[in-house]
A and B are shown apart, each in its own frame.
Chain A
Amino acid sequence: MTTIHIDNRPYPAKDGENLLQECLSLGFNLPYFCWHPALGSVGACRQCAIKQFKNEEDKHGKIVMACMTAAKDGIRISIDDPEAQDFRASVAEWLMVNHPHDCPVCDEGGECHLQDMTVMNGHVYRRYHGRKRTFHNQDLGPLVNHEMNRCIQCYRCTRFYREYAGGRDLDALVLRNQVYFGRHQDGVLENEFSGNLVEVCPTGVFTDKTLKRHYTRKWDLQTAPSVCVHCGLGCNTIPGERYGTLRRIRNRFNGAVNGYFLCDRGRYGYEFVNSGRRVRQPLLRKNRTQLLQPVSKRAALQHLGELLSGGARVIGIGSPRASIEANFALRTLVGRDQFYLGISERDLRLLASILDILRKGPARTPSLHEVELADAVLVLGEDVANTAPRLGLALRQSVRRQPEKIAKKMGIPLWNDHAVREAMQEEHGPLFIATLANTRIDDIATRTFRGPPAELARLGLAIAHALDPIAPQVPGLSDTAQALAGAIAEKLKAAERPLVISGIGCGDKAVVEAAANVTWALCNMGRPAEFCYVVPECNSLGAMMLGGGSLETALEAMNDAAADILVILENDLYRRADAALVDRLLAAARHIVMIDHIEHTTSAKADMVLPAAAFAEADGTLVNNEGRAQRFFQVFVPRGEIEGDIRGDTPGDIQESWRWMRDIMVVGRGDEGQWSSLDDVTAACAAVIPSLEPILRAAPSAAFRMDGQKIPRESHRYSGRTVMHANVSIHEPEQPQDPDTALAFSMEGYSGHPPPSLIPRFWAPGWNSIQALNKFQDEVGGPLSGGDPGERLIEPTPGKKAAYFENIPAGFEPRVGEWLLLPLHHIFGSEELSILAPGVAELSVQPYLALNPEDASNLGLTDGDEVQLRLRAQADAQVDVKADDSANTTATTAEVFRLPLRFKPELLHGTAGLPAGLTGMGNLAGVALPAWGELKKV
C-alpha cells in the first residue's frame, strides 16, 4: 500500500496499479471507455484524463491518462482540475459527433455506459450540426444484434472477442474515422462468448437480439440473483422479468466463479421458461387409455390423497437439474430407501467416484477464478468448450500465466494490456488437451492427443507414472504416447500451480481415475496441484451428496415389489437411460406422478403431471462442480393459464417442487404444517445430511432485513405499477408476498447495497450500465464487497497421501464390422432446457454420425450420406459398468437408427462420433455412450 494525493488529499492505493482503477476503487467517478477490469488498459479512448503534478509546488501540472499511469508513492493528481475536466468533456464531444440520434429506439438506452459518461462529463449540448458518418449493419446470427452507427471506436469488442475469448471472425476493418467492427461478411458469430459483447460494448452497437423481440428497459425489469442451470459450473446470473415472461439474462459478477463473463448457452437459454412446452396446469388421467386432461390443483391433490391414503408404496426419482431442496423434499416424502437419483447406473458411478476423489484426496478443487491462475493445465477426456464453456474461457486466461513472466521481467505492469501482449507475442503456457475429438480450445494447446476413452485413461496413467514411479505402470503403451506422457509430466512438474481437468463427458471411470492419479502424483511430490471435474448438470454434485440409487436400482426395487406410485421430479428419464429400461420402469408403476416445468417424453407417459416452477420462478440451492453451494432466488410469480392475465393476478397452479411435495404429504399423510418456507426445507436438509450443513449459509434467511426492510426486486424507477393490470381489473392487486426470501416483489425496501448473495441488480447513482458493478467491489476487479457468494462444501484433507487407482484399462482394439460410438458434446443442442430457446435451437447441430474419411470410404460412404446404425445390446458392450449385471442385462436390444454422415478426420480407426443428448435423436439421446454399434450404408 502506498499513498497517493488526489486533489490535495491523501488516499491509500495499491503500488503499481493503474490510477484509473485506484480512483474507481476509492469511489471517484472518473469516466472511461476502453478500460475494462478484465481486459486491462490500452489508453485508446483518452477519456480518463487527469492532471498529474510534479510536487506540491507544481500548480501547472500535465494531463495524463489515468489508465496508463501507475500509482506511485506520493504521486499528486487531480481529477477535478478544470483543464482535465474540459479535456474529458471535449473527448466525449468528439466521440458524440457521429453518434446517431437513436437513444429512444436503442436497446442500450437506460443502461448505456456512453450515456452515463456523457452526463458525467457534462457534455449536454450538441454543437456539431454537420453530416454524420453511417455504416451498414451485419446480420450476426440469432443472438447478437449489430448497429454499427453507434460505435465510438473504443476497441473493447475486438479486445474481448479476439484477445480474451479467442474468437477470429470479428475484427476492426477500414481505417481513419471509418473503422468498422464486424465480420468479413454477414454470418453467425462463431465464438461461444459472443453474447458478452452486449455487456462489453459501452454503447448500443452490440445488443441482445432475444431481448429485442420482447424489449424492456433495465429499470422496468423485475430481477433477482440467480444461478445458471445450463451446465455444472453454476455461473451467477441476473434474469429479468416483465409482464409475466422472462426477458433476458445478464451476468451477475461473482469473483470466484464466472467473473465478468457468461457463455451464450447460459445467456440465451433462458427462453425455455417462456416456452410453449411449459406445464402450467395439473394434468390428470384416470386410466392410461385416456389423454391427460387439465384439472384443478385441488382435484389433483385430492386424487393423490386418495391414492396415498391406502398405504400405497411410493418410489421417488429425483433429478440432478432440480434444487437440493426439491430433491430433499421428495426424499422426505418417499423415505430415504425409496429415493433414487434419476440418473443411470453408469453416471451414478462416475459421479460417486468424482465425489469420492474430491472428498478423500489431498488435492483441492479450484474455483473458476483459480483455474485462471493455473500455470500448467492437463485436460483429460473432457471437451470443456462444449460441456462447461466458461471453463474453456478460464483456460484461455490460464495459458497467459507463464508468458506473463516475460512482461514482468521487462518491467511491464500486467494491466498494461497491449504492451503485455506485445511482449508475450504468441507464447502460450503449457496446456495439454487429451480428448475424444478436436475441441475449440485446441488453438491454445501446447500438445493435443486424440483417442477413445481407454487410450486417454492410459495416457493419464502414464503421466502419473512418469511423475511418481510408485503410480501404476501402463503396459504396452506406444512410444509416441510414452514420449507425450513424459513431456506433459515434465511441464506439470515444473509448474507453480498445476491443474488437471477431467469429467464425465467421455463416460469412462478410468479417465476420471487417471486424472486423479496425475493430481495425486503431483501432490505426493509436494506440488500444490489442483483438479477440476466437470459435471453435466447444475446440481449433479448436490444430488449426489443427498445420496440415492440409480434408475437401474429403482427398477430392481420395483421388480421386487411393484410400487403403487412413482413420483418423478423434474426429470426426463428418456434422456438419462436406455429407452427399454425406462419403458419397463414406467410400466412397473401403477401410477406415475410427474412434477416438472416442461412437457417431454416421460411426462407424456405419466398419469398425473404437476406444474413445477422453473429456475426463475423458484428459490433453491444448487451445488456446482466445485462443490460450491449457491442460492438462486425467485424472479417472478408465474402467471396462470387465464388469458390476458399478467403477473400474478391469479397466481396459477405453478409452484415450487418442494411445495408440491409438502402438499402431497399433507393430503396423503396429514403432516400439517411441516414446512412453511424454503428455510424450513433447507434447515431440515442440513439437519438430516450433515455434509450439506453449509447450504444454510449460502444466503441470508427469509428473516434477514436491512434497516428493517426487505430488498426490492424492482428498481426505484419501475414503471406501470398502477396500470399494468388495469385492463383486467381496475382494482390494483396486492403485491405478491415472498415468505421464502429476504427479497420483496416490490419497488419498496432497502435502497442501499445488500449482502453479495442478495444483489438483485447492479446500479449506482450516475452509473446505470452494468459498469455500476465497480461500486459493489472494494477493489475494482476484485471480489464483491462482503465476499463472493457461495459456500464451499468440499475441502480436501491436507497433507494426506492418497493411494493410486490401480485399474489400468486395455488399449483400444478396433473390431471388424463394429465401431465404438463416442459421445460428442455440443454447446448448443446437448443440453435439455436451453434447446427450447429459439435462438439456441437455431444454432443447434442436427443429428449426425461422425466417422473418419478412411473408415467411411471403406463402407462406401461420403460426407452427407445416410448411414444405418445398429446398436449392440449393451450387455456385452465395453462400457465401464462391470459389476451389477442385473443392471446391464436390462439394456436395449438392437435398435436401428439412420443418421447423416459427417467426416471427422481426427477420429481413430474403429471409432465413430455421435452428438450427445441431442433431442432430435429420439431414443439415442438416452443411450449411454461409448457403446459399440454396427454401421452400414443405407
Chain B
Amino acid sequence: MWNSLKTMWIVFLHMFHRRATIQYPDEKPNIPPRWRGRIILSRDPDGEERCVACYLCAAACPVDCIALQATEDEHERRYPEFFRINFSRCIFCGYCEEACPTDAIQLTPDFEMGEYNRKNLVYEKEDLLIDGPGKYPGYNFYRVAGITIGGKNKGEAENEAPPVDPHSLLP
C-alpha cells in the first residue's frame, strides 16, 4: 500500500520536471559533433579530394558496404574513380573513419536519411563529397607523403631533404 502511494507520488512529482522529450521533427535535436551519422568524403585545405583510394575503409567495413576503384590523374595523384556506399547496409560503426589514413571519410551528425526507395540509399561519390575539410581542418596527406604529384616534386614535402643526385659521389 505504502509502496503504491510512494510510486504515485514520484510520478506526480515528474509533472514538474524538465521534459526530456522533444517534438521531433518540428523541433530538431542537439547532436554532438562526434555523432556517427551520414558518411561524407571531405576535401583537403587546398580544395582537392582527400580520398586517395587506399581501400582501407572498404576493408574495415564489417558489412562490406563500401566499394571504390582507384585511378590517377595525369600527375599520378591517386583518387577514387568511383566511390559508392550502400547506406541501406551501413551500420554506422565508424570503422571506416577510424581506418582512413587521410581523414577523408568522416561520419557526420546527420541521421535523417529515410527514403521510400532503397535504391536512393546508394550514394555515389557526387553524393558523398563535400566542399570543406570537415572535422579535421589543416591535414593534407599529399603534403607529408613522399610521392610526387602535380605541383609537388620530390623533396618538397614537409620534412624532406632535397633529392639525392645518383650521379655524384660527393658527401
Contacts and interface: CB of A to CB of B under 8 A. Distances in A.
B54 A717 contact: no
Interface stretch (B2-10, B11-19, B37-45, B63-71): B63-71
Interface in B75-91: 78, 84-86, 88-89
Nearest to B77: A105
A131 B119 CA distance: 50
A11 interface: no
A134 B154 contact: yes
Nearest to B85: A723
Interface string B133-171: 000000001001111100000110001111111111101
Given A131-B161, A720-B64, A720-B67, A173 B55 contact: no
Nearest to B79: A105
A562 B146 CA distance: 69
Contact of A180 (B56, B118, B148, B164): B164
B86 A723 contact: yes
A721 interface: yes
Interface residues of A, number: 46
A730 B164 contact: no
B64 A173 contact: no
B54 A104 contact: yes
Contacts of B160: 131-132, 134
Interface string A94-113: 00000011111100011000
Contacts of A175: 169
B145 A722 contact: no
A723 B122 contact: yes
Contacts of A721: 64
Contacts of B155: 134
B132 interface: no
B154 A723 contact: no
A129 B67 contact: no
B94 interface: no
A176 B168 CA distance: 12
B128 interface: no
Contacts of A826: none
A727 B124 contact: yes
A104 B64 CA distance: 19
Contacts of B106: none
B154 A149 contact: yes
Given A135-B154, A219-B59, A730-B122, A150 B65 contact: no
Contacts of B66: 719-720, 723
B124 to A, nearest CB: 7
B145 A105 contact: yes
B61 interface: yes
B122 A719 contact: no
A695 B87 CA distance: 49
B100 to A, nearest CB: 9
A109 B70 CA distance: 14
A212 B77 CA distance: 12
A110 B61 CA distance: 16
B166 A182 contact: yes
Contact of B70 (A110, A215, A720, A723): A215
Contacts of B78: 105, 215
B55 to A, nearest CB: 5
B110 interface: no
Q: Which of B55, B56, B102, B144 is the most central at the interface, judged by chain A CB atoms within 10 Å of its CB?
A: B55
Contact of A174 (B55, B64, B71, B169): B169
A134 B166 contact: no
A214 B64 CA distance: 20
Given A134-B146, A212-B72, A104 B154 contact: no
Contacts of A135: 154, 163-164, 166
Contacts of B162: 134
A690 interface: no
A178 B52 contact: no
A726 interface: yes
B170 to A, nearest CB: 10
A826 to B, nearest CB: 31
A104 B163 contact: no
B58 interface: yes
Contacts of B101: 103-104
B97 to A, nearest CB: 14
Nearest to A106: B147
Contacts of A645: none
A854 B82 CA distance: 60
Contacts of B53: 215
Contacts of A101: 141, 144-146
Nearest to B64: A721
A20 to B, nearest CB: 30
A720 B57 CA distance: 10
Interface in A122-158: 129-137, 147, 149-150
Contacts of B118: 730
B61 to A, nearest CB: 6
A768 to B, nearest CB: 11
A150 B146 CA distance: 8
Contacts of B70: 215-216
Interface-central residue, B56, B65, B69, B166, by most chain A CB under 10 Å: B166
A17 interface: no
A728 to B, nearest CB: 10
Contacts of A133: 161, 164
A134 B144 CA distance: 12
A724 interface: yes
Contacts of A855: none
Nearest to A723: B86
- Among B59, B119, B124, B171, which residue has the most Cβ atoms of chain A within 10 A? B59
Nearest to B102: A104
B118 to A, nearest CB: 5
A102 B159 contact: no
A105 B52 contact: yes
Contacts of A297: none
A724 B67 contact: yes
A220 interface: yes
A491 interface: no
Contact of A727 (B58, B122, B169): B122
Given A102-B146, A133-B161, A726 B84 contact: yes
Contacts of B71: 215
B154 A719 contact: no
Nearest to B144: A101
A215 B89 CA distance: 25
Contacts of B86: 722-723, 726, 730
A130 B122 contact: no
A131 B66 CA distance: 36
Interface string A701-741: 00000000000000001111111101100100000000000
Interface of A: 100-105, 109-110, 129-137, 147, 149-150, 173-176, 178, 180, 182, 212, 214-217, 219-220, 243, 717-724, 726-727, 730
23 contacts: A100-B146, A101-B141, A104-B54, A104-B145, A105-B52, A129-B159, A132-B146, A133-B164, A134-B154, A134-B163, A150-B146, A174-B168, A182-B166, A717-B59, A719-B64, A720-B58, A722-B64, A722-B86, A722-B89, A723-B85, A723-B86, A723-B89, A730-B88
Interface of B: 52-56, 58-59, 61, 63-72, 78, 84-86, 88-89, 101-102, 118-119, 121-122, 124, 141, 144-148, 154-155, 159-169, 171
Given A133-B161, A723-B89, 6 more contacts: A131-B160, A133-B164, A175-B169, A176-B171, A219-B59, A726-B86
- In order of increasing CB-CB distance, the 3 nearest A-B pairs are A100-B146, A720-B67, A104-B54
